[in-house]
Amino acid sequence: MGNINSNYPAPHPDIAWQDGNIVRWEDCVVHVRTQAGFFGANIFEGIRAYWNSSEERLYVFRLDEHLKRLHQSMKIMRMISPYSSDELKMATLNLLKQCDFRQHAQANIVSCFGFPAPGDPLSANARVGANITAVPMGRSVKTETGLSAGISSWRRITDDAMPIRVKIGSNYQNGRLAQNQVSDAGYEMALLQNSNGKVCEAPGACIFMLRDGQLITPPLTSDILESITRDTVLELAKRYTNLKVVERDIDKSELYLADEAFICGSIIEITPITSVDGIQINQAIPGAVTREIQTLYFSAVEGRLAESENWCTPV
């Protein structure tokens, strides 16, 4: 018999960061009676770090933008953290340095609401804690082959119910329902429609489709996360391709007719979609434009583009 804190899949380092200190991996825990434990009252970031083998150095991708979004999530949730963005930045870089991965990695910064005040279980005045963990993480598994997507009947949470543009742990129960539903139906990745019936994003990624030479993605006002990878793709496509880049709503039936489609996110990177609801996209083969965007993206994260200088922070 174990407990839910045991058996984190290897490999992971021996250390983590919590509330100002480097702690042992197994001691980096949050009590079950905190608001984070009860209600999923946390805010987090999922960040990638890429190993540059020629320089023998790890670079964190768009760390400042992740810290900015963390701060914006806290602002909306009225979370007052004892740690500034600069402190969290230094803590993340220091933890990654001590982990000494020498390979690509993922880091997560989590800010949690602590114990509720008596009689006030949802108070924003609870103590706030933070933790940072990092694990080795290679290229996302389906970037080469692509994956099948299914559109869930669960609708995306709307911004008038939950602030979906920021990264709040409890938002993820919506994506979880969608993902479990489509997995049971045999698809690899869920896509969600927003309350207007427009396809807006995946549980942990944004969506792009190519139609008639236009690269199309839903706007930031369509109940999606303000994704850093989406922003990166838009920047790269505008700067390095001849594609017309358009931010507009996407209908379900339009997606069925897309010439190409892919999802993007820090963790999933650029992953082609080969079918939607069983309807093949580009005869189920990742398309040339998707490949071009992938190549640009991996060049950016690995420090080989002009933009990389601003986007990649050395550890």
Catalytic residue annotation: 167
Distance set, CA 126 to CA 34, 73, 82, 311 (Å): 9, 16, 12, 34
Q: Which of 266, 274, 275, 282 binds ligand PMP (CB under 6 A)?
A: 266
Does 92 interact with ligand PMP (rule: CB under 6 A)?
no
Q: How far is CA 152 from CA 21, 197, 198, 199, 205, in A?
A: 42, 11, 12, 10, 15
For every residue of 164-189, DSSP letters joined together read TTS-BGGGHHHHHHHHHHHHHTT-SE
- The pattern of x and - marking residues 163 through 182 that bind ligand PMP according to CB under 6 A reads ------------x-------
**Residue 218 engages ligand PMP in binding (rule: CB under 6 A):** no
CA distances from 30 to 33, 44, 72, 128, 208 (A): 9, 14, 23, 11, 37
Q: Site for ligand PMP (CB under 6 A): which residue of 166, 191, 205, 258? A: 205
| Closer residue to ligand PMP (CB): 126 or 201 | 201
Among 43, 46, 74, 152, binds ligand PMP (CB under 6 A): 46
State the nearest-atom distance from the C-beta of 66 to ligand PMP, in Å: 7
Q: Which is nearer to ligand PMP, 77 or 205 (CB)?
A: 205
Exactly one of 206, 216, 261, 293 binds ligand PMP (CB under 6 A); which one? 206
- Show the tokens assigned to 151: 């559109």
Measure the CA dihedral 227/228/229/235, to 10°.
110
Q: Is residue 42 at the binding interface for ligand PMP, with CB under 6 A as the rule?
A: no
In the bound state with ligand PMP, the residue whose beta carbon lies nearer, of 265 and 303, is 265
How crowded is the C-beta side of 312, counted as CA atoms within 13 Å? Answer: 21
Contact residues for ligand PMP, defined by CB under 6 A: 46, 175, 201, 203-206, 225, 227-230, 265-266
